[in-house]
Every structure is written in structure tokens, then in C-alpha cells.
Amino acid sequence: MSMRKSSPAVPAQPTKAGRGFRRLVNVLLTLSAVLAFSYAAISIYIDTKLVYEPQKPLYATPASLGLQYRDVIFPSREDHLQLHGWFIPGVLSKGRLTAQRVIITVHGNRGNRADKSAGLLNFSGALARHGFAVLAFDMRGNGESPPAPLSLGYFEQRDVLGAVDFLRSGPLPYPDLGRPRSIAGWGVSLGASTLLLAAAREPAIRAIVSDSAFTDALPLLEREVPKGGHLPPFFTPGALLAARAIYGMDFYDVRPVDVVAQIGPRPLFFIHGDADSFIPPSDMSDLAAAARTVSNAHVQTWLVPGATHARSYTTHPQEYVSRVIAFYTAALGPDSSAT
């Protein structure tokens, strides 16, 4: 009987080419992991810088203009953030007060309800002196309202809708003046875009003045994110995706141009400075064109000569007020208690 001797297994050594390929794959694996995770980490860092800045305090109140007002606090729609604002009653002849027609004023990015640079307090005062009550409030993350991430209107539209709910069913700041008969909106820059987004969802906003609105948040972010973060533009998509993961906001969905047609046939008045280098005046043309696609559209535009971004009111205050008052009067009708 013969025994077959089994020879010990000789380990198969990889060839030179095989070793080279393996080394290449190792390098690729390391490089891809380092690049992908670094990209994600930098995107997250950009987001934390992008979405919040310390809130600016109010520099004055309507009392500094000799106007009566009440501090109000109301919840935003859906997420119930407690927003701070002023209710300024309209002033009629002989000093009588009215709250029949209320204008919700919406400030711009990183501002507040008194925003000095845009002349917001003075403008609110001018509206009140022309017989329109004003609800001026701080959007989330601004002024005295609670800190929140800046979302370019994605979340802020809930604040405008909360203001509408407050006027329609909240406690009356001046019970003797009763509930408002009609509600309209005025917004500047981010406030204007936010107002357009909110008005598309809320028919109670019966007329809108949109000063320096953008059509789409994305081109602004593609310009501003690299500038603010001092990083190349290819980090912008990562930062936008990270914003979705961290804050649940979708900047790709912030496109007033897509919803502005839903506002019609309610009247719209678009204002834009012709020297605006932050949001190009072509955005107004695009918004107006989109708004006119609906039948019975009531769309006005005013390209303000010499005005830079959100400075149309401060550049031509008297003409600005007279045009806006004429628009609101035509849209909302006269104050019945005035006669």
C-alpha cells in the first residue's frame, strides 16, 4: 500500500503588476475617503457660518415718530416660534385711529422691523399717517424674535403666515378698533421674496408691494457662499446639502418666480432700484413676467432711478410713499371709518 505524499502548499505571490494595482487602489481608497469626508466637514462648517449672525437690536420705536403703537407677540404658523412686533394703528383726520386696513411689513436679511438703512421705521410711520395700520415684526433670527437659522424665506414665510393668523384670529392689540377688514403686505429684499412665497399660500393677503425681491435663492447663494466662506464655489452644493441635513431647509425650493403667478389676480406692485448690484433689476422683470402669466393679472412695476439695493424708499421717499399709498388705496379701497 503506497502513501501519496502531499507537498506543502506554496503561497502564491502576487505579480509585480498586481502589487502595483493593489497599491494604486490603496491610494485611491485613502484619497477618496480623505477628500469626501473633508468636503463634508467643510460644508458643515460653512453652513454654521452661513445661517446665523448676531441679531441687531432695534434703534427706535414708533413713539420716536410720535405714533401710538402696541408691542405684540404672535406665533409663526406651523412651528409656533414667538415673534415680536409692533402694531401701529393708522391715523385718520383729527387724529382718529383705525385698524381697518393693515399692512404687514417684512424687513430684509439680517435686519429688523425698524431697519434704519432701509428706512423701515420711517416708512411704517408714513403708512400709518396715511390711514393704514401697520404690523411690523421681526422675522425669526432677527431683532427681538427668537434665534433661528436664516433660510432665505424657506422657513421665514411661516412668520408672515403667522402674522396673517394673528391679524385674523389673534388677540386684538386695540380692541376698540376691531378686527382688520383687509390685509396687505409690503416687503423689502428677503422680506419681499418671503412675502411672495407666503402670499402664494395665503389668499388673505390681498395686495403685495415687493421691493427688491429675488426670483431664485440659488444664484445668490452661488455668489455669496464662496464669498462669505472664502472658499472655491464647488463647496456651495455641499453646503446646501448640509443645510438640508442640519437644519432641514431646502434652498433649492426657494424660488418666488415659480409661485408668483399663484398670487394673481390679487394686485402686485414690484419695485426695484436700477442701480441694484446685489439683486439685479432683471429679477423684477422676471417676477413681473411670471406674475402676468395668470389671467386678470394686476401687476405694476417701478424701476427706481439711481436706487441701489433696497434703497428705493430712502432715495425717493416722497414719490415712493405716494406710489405705494395709491396702490394700496386702489387695491384695498378707502377706510370706511374715515368719512
Partner 1 sequence: MSTLPSDSQKLVPAPGLPESILRGTLVGLIPLGLLVVVLAFVLAITALTRQLLATSGFFVQQEWVLIVLIAGMVLAIVVYAGSIWRILRRMATWQQAGMREQARSALWALGATALVVIIPVLLTLLLPQRPAP
Per CB under 8 A, residues contacting partner 1 are: 3-4, 9, 11-14, 18, 21-22, 24-26, 28-29, 31-33, 35-37, 39-41, 44, 48, 52, 79, 141, 146-149, 214, 218-220, 222-223, 233-238, 245-248, 277, 279-280
**Closest distance of CB 19 from partner 1, Å:** 10
- Coil/strand/helix, residue 230: coil
**Closest distance of CB 305 from partner 1, Å:** 20
**Closest distance of CB 86 from partner 1, Å:** 23
CA dihedral 47, 51, 52, 55 (to 10 degrees): 170
CA atoms within 13 A on the CB side of 150: 20
Q: Judged by CB, which is closer to partner 1: 14, or 203?
A: 14
Q: Judged by CB, which is closer to partner 1: 21, or 59?
A: 21
Alpha-carbon 119 to chain mean position: 18
**Closest distance of CB 246 from partner 1, Å:** 5
Distance in angstroms (rounded) separating the CA atoms of residues 60 and 80: 27
- Contact by Cβ (8 Å): 130, 119: no
- Contact by Cβ (8 Å): 103, 90: no
Grid cell, residue 279, equals 439683486
**Closest distance of CB 107 from partner 1, Å:** 19
Q: Judged by CB, which is closer to partner 1: 30, or 293?
A: 30
In degrees rounded to 5, what are phi and psi of residue 296?
60, 30
Q: Judged by CB, which is closer to partner 1: 146, or 317?
A: 146
Q: Judged by CB, which is closer to partner 1: 233, or 333?
A: 233
